C-alpha cells in the first residue's frame, strides 16, 4: 500500500511539474506574442507617422500652388494618399486682418516710391553725340540695375524743375566729374494708383532726357531719347481699383536737366509701392495641413509670401 501511495504522489508531482513548465512556456509564448504585436503596432505607428509627415508636405505644396495661382481661393479640397487622409485650411494671422507686411504699409495718397541711380560719364550710354534716339523700354538698358542705386525715398509728387533739376548736387553722393553739376543720373518711381472707375485719365509728362510711363508693366508713354525738355500730354487708361504705375527718367547729357509728371484728375489716389513688396497679402499663405491615418496624425503649419520665395514651417500638436 505504501508503495502505491508513494507512486501516486510521485506521478502527481511530475504532472504538477509538467503543468508548471507548460504554464511557463505558455507565458513566455504569450509574452513574446504580445511583445511582437506591440512591436508590430509600434512599427506600424512609426511607419504611418513618417508617411503622414511626407503626405502633409504634399498637402502643403498642393495648397501653396493653389494660393500662388489664385490668391483669392482659400478653400482646399481634401486629399487621400494610401491610408492617409489629408485636410488643409487657411489660418488667419492673429489680429484677423489680411494685409501687406508692416514694411509695405504706406499712408494712402502719400506719393511715389523713388529709387535714385547715379552713373558716370564713362558709362557707354552717357554724353553721346549725335544725340541717340528713343528706345522702346527702360529695361532695355542696365541704367536701373541695383549696382547704380544710391538710395530710395518717398517723393510726394513728381513735379521738378524742367531745366535745372540736379538732385545729386550737394548730397553725399555728389560727383560732378569736372562739370558744373552732377549729371548722368536716373530715377524709377513706382506707385499704386487707385482709380474710381475704368476710364482714360489725362496726364502731363515733360523730361530732359529720357522718360517712360508703364501701367502694370506695359509701356503706355514713351518720351525717351537724349533731347531738350519735351512735353507729352494725353490720356492713360486705368482700371477701377489698383493699378501699378512705373515712371522712369534718365539724364544723359551735360546741358539742362528736368522732369515733371502728373495726372490731371486729383481724385486718383497715389500710394508708394516698392517693387519688393509686390502687393503680397501676408496672411494668404498661412496654411495648416493635417495628415492622419488609423495610428498616426501629423500637423504642419506653413507661412509663406505668395510667390513662395520665403517659407517657414513648424510642426503642431495634432
Percent helix, strand and coil across the chain, each rounded to 5? 25, 35, 40
Residue of 314, 276, 246 whose CA lies nearest to 101:
276
- Distance, CA of 271 to CA of 268 (rounded, Å): 10
Contact status, residue 192 vs residue 273, Cβ threshold 8 Å: yes
Domain at 102-272: CATH architecture: Sandwich (2.60)
Cell, residue 198: 475704368
Dihedral of CA 238/244/250/255: which sign?
positive
* Residue 84: predicted pLDDT: 79
* Residue 86: predicted pLDDT: 81
Tracing cell 495718397 back to the chain, one arrives at: 109
Low-confidence residues of the chain: pLDDT under 70: 1-46, 49, 68, 71-72, 92-100, 278-285, 295-296, 300-318
Residue of 236, 258, 237 whose CA lies nearest to 249:
258
Contact status, residue 161 vs residue 223, Cβ threshold 8 Å: no
Instruction: Report DSSP state, residue 226.
Output: S
What are the φ/ψ torsions at residue 15 (nearest 5 degrees)? -65, -45
Summarised one tens digit per residue, pLDDT across range 178-232 is: 999 999 999 999 999 999 999 999 999 999 999 999 999 999 999 999 999 999 9
- Distance, CA of 232 to CA of 238 (rounded, Å): 18
Helices (H), the chain: 2-69
- Distance, CA of 211 to CA of 188 (rounded, Å): 10
Dihedral of CA 22/27/32/34: which sign?
positive
Instruction: Report DSSP state, residue 54.
Output: H
**Domain boundary assignment for the chain:** 102-272
- Distance, CA of 182 to CA of 251 (rounded, Å): 10
Helix (H, G, I), strand (E, B) or coil at 224: coil
- What string of H, E and C letters represents the secondary structure of 123-180? CCCCCCCCCCCCCCCHHHCCCCCHHHEEEEEEECCEECCCCECCCCCCCCCCCCCCCC
DSSP secondary structure of 277-297: TTT--GGGGEEEEEEE-SS-E
Amino acid at each position: 500500500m505504501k508503495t502505491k501511495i508513494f507512486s501516486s504522489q510521485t506521478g502527481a508531482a511530475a504532472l504538477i511539474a509538467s503543468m508548471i513548465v507548460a504554464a511557463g512556456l505558455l507565458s513566455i509564448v504569450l509574452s513574446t506574442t504580445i511583445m511582437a504585436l506591440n512591436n508590430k503596432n509600434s512599427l506600424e505607428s512609426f511607419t504611418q507617422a513618417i508617411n503622414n509627415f511626407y503626405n502633409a508636405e504634399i498637402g502643403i505644396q498642393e495648397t501653396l500652388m493653389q494660393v500662388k495661382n489664385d490668391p483669392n481661393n482659400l478653400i482646399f479640397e481634401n486629399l487621400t494618399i494610401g491610408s492617409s487622409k489629408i485636410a488643409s485650411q487657411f489660418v488667419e494671422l492673429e489680429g484677423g486682418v489680411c494685409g501687406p507686411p508692416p514694411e509695405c504699409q504706406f499712408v494712402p495718397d502719400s506719393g511715389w516710391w523713388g529709387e535714385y541711380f547715379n552713373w558716370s560719364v564713362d558709362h557707354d550710354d552717357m554724353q553721346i553725340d549725335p544725340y541717340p534716339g528713343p528706345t522702346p523700354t527702360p529695361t532695355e538698358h542696365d541704367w536701373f540695375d541695383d549696382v547704380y542705386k544710391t538710395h530710395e525715398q518717398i517723393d510726394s509728387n513728381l513735379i521738378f524743375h524742367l531745366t535745372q533739376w540736379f538732385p545729386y548736387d550737394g548730397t553725399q553722393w555728389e560727383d560732378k566729374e569736372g562739370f558744373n553739376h552732377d549729371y548722368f543720373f536716373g530715377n524709377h518711381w513706382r506707385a499704386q494708383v487707385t482709380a474710381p472707375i475704368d476710364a482714360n485719365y489725362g496726364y502731363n509728362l515733360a523730361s530732359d532726357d529720357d522718360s517712360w510711363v508703364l501701367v502694370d508693366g506695359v509701356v503706355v508713354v514713351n518720351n525717351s531719347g537724349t533731347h531738350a525738355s519735351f512735353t507729352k500730354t494725353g490720356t492713360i487708361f486705368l482700371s477701377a481699383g489698383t493699378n501699378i504705375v512705373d515712371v522712369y527718367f534718365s539724364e544723359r547729357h551735360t546741358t539742362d536737366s528736368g522732369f515733371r509728371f502728373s495726372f490731371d484728375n486729383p481724385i486718383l489716389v497715389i500710394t508708394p509701392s516698392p517693387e519688393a513688396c509686390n502687393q503680397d497679402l501676408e496672411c494668404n499663405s498661412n496654411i495648416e495641413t493635417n495628415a492622419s491615418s488609423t495610428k498616426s496624425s501629423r500637423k504642419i503649419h506653413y507661412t509663406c509670401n505668395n510667390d513662395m520665395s520665403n517659407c517657414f514651417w513648424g510642426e503642431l500638436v495634432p
